């Protein structure tokens, strides 16, 4: 041990039950048998009760059993060794979620190459074998070969001759266009 009036130079082991350093501590190596605390952060053994690992606070830690938490009190991600829980928004451009595939904002089940259910980022939904309960509203499209208009259902779509049209609205009517038959109900004489 050597003291020059300013610095203490010690060669060998130092054993102390407590102590305080007000400056930097530099070491090329060493072993701590407990944990190191820097501010509120802890690293080592028993950093939070009996948990060993890295502890930065109640919402940011990583323990040696693999569990971790990052975020804050209201928006965070927690892995407990079995389940990953996310509180707050999840933004993903791609990935897989339990059998579903995310691609560019679209969701496809079971995969993007052969989906049986899909919703695109533009809101277009397609499904095979769907059973839908509740109202379906459409002003365009097709259903079983019938074309959906703003207030009509008609078939065929390609021509007005030989067409059957169901008109909705205040005075619903059925129109049959045929080269030899045209019937509209209610007709003026039915009034």
Predicted local confidence at residue 47, as pLDDT: 92
- pLDDT tens for 54-80 read 999 999 999 999 999 999 999 999 999
The answer to whether residues 50 and 76 belong to one domain is yes
CA pair distance 51, 143, nearest whole angstrom: 60
CA pair distance 33, 129, nearest whole angstrom: 62
More confident residue, 86 or 184: 86
The answer to whether residues 108 and 77 belong to one domain is no
Angle at 33 between CA 14 and CA 28, to 5 degrees: 55
Residue with tokens 């050597």, as numbered in its chain: 2
The answer to whether residues 75 and 98 belong to one domain is no
Residue 148 lies in a domain: yes
More confident residue, 38 or 148: 148
Residue 175 lies in a domain: yes
User: How far, rounded to the nearest angstrom, does the alpha carbon of residue 122 sit from its chain's CA centroid?
Assistant: 17
The residues, ordered by sequence, that sit 6+ positions from 116 with a Cβ below 8 Å of its Cβ are 109, 110, 127, 128, 129
Nearest CA-CA partner of 117 in 104, 135, 131: 131
Query: Domain total for the chain?
Result: 3
2: confidence class by pLDDT, cuts 50, 70, 90: confident
Instruction: Centre a 10 Å sphere on the Cβ of residue 42 and count the other Cβ atoms it contains.
Output: 22
Stated pTM of the model? 0.47
Of the CA atoms within 13 Å of residue 164, those in its CB half-sphere come to: 3
Predicted local confidence at residue 184, as pLDDT: 58
| DSSP secondary structure letter of residue 161 | T
Provide the residue range defining the domain that includes 154.
141-190
The answer to whether residues 102 and 59 belong to one domain is no
Residue 134 lies in a domain: no
**Burial tier of 81 (Cβ tally within 10 Å: 0-12, 13-18, 19+):** exposed
């Amino acid at each position: 041990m050597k003291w020059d009036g300013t610095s203490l130079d010690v060669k060998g082991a130092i054993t102390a039950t407590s102590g305080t350093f007000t400056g930097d501590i530099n070491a090329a190596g060493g072993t701590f048998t407990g944990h190191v605390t820097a501010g509120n952060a802890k690293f080592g053994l028993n950093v939070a009760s009996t948990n060993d690992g890295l502890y930065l606070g109640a919402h940011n830690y990583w323990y040696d059993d693999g569990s971790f938490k990052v975020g804050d009190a209201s928006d965070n991600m927690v892995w407990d060794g079995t389940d990953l829980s996310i509180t707050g928004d999840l933004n993903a451009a791609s990935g897989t979620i339990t059998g579903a595939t995310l691609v560019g904002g679209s969701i496809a089940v079971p995969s993007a190459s052969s989906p049986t259910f899909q919703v695109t980022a533009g809101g277009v939904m397609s499904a095979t074998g769907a059973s839908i309960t509740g109202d379906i509203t459409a002003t365009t499209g097709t259903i079983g070969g019938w074309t959906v208009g703003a207030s009509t259902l008609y078939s065929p779509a390609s021509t007005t001759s030989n067409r059957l049209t169901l008109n909705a609205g205040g005075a619903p009517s059925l129109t049959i266009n045929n080269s030899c038959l045209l019937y509209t109900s209610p007709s003026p004489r039915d009034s």
